Amino acid sequence: MSEKVKLSKDGSSIDFVQSENIPTSLKKFRQSPEIEGFYRFIFENDLQKEGYEILDRIISQRKLKKQQDKKQAVEDKKDLKKKK
């Protein structure tokens, strides 16, 4: 994979070669052509800071949603016990 990431003809998106199999381990996932192409695109276009900010925001949103889901599950259990 020494080839550079390919932009679409109009430059609005990234062209990736999609593999048929989904990687089963974290190491294989990182080495998949799609992820390798994404990392290469980030690096070649000097987007490390922006990439970090985006991933940080996604992680924060997922943590908040997980906390809300846990809180909702506890409330649902309490409501279920009250009905009995």
| CB atoms closer than 10 angstroms to residue 37 | 19
Query: Could you list the pLDDT tens digit for every one of the 84 residues in the chain?
Result: 445 556 667 767 766 555 556 666 767 766 777 778 888 888 899 999 998 898 899 999 999 999 999 999 998 888 887 776
pTM above 0.75, yes or no: no
Dist CA 8 CA 11 (whole Å): 5
Q: Helices marked H in the chain — which ranges?
A: 26-31, 33-44, 48-83
Dist CA 12 CA 33 (whole Å): 20
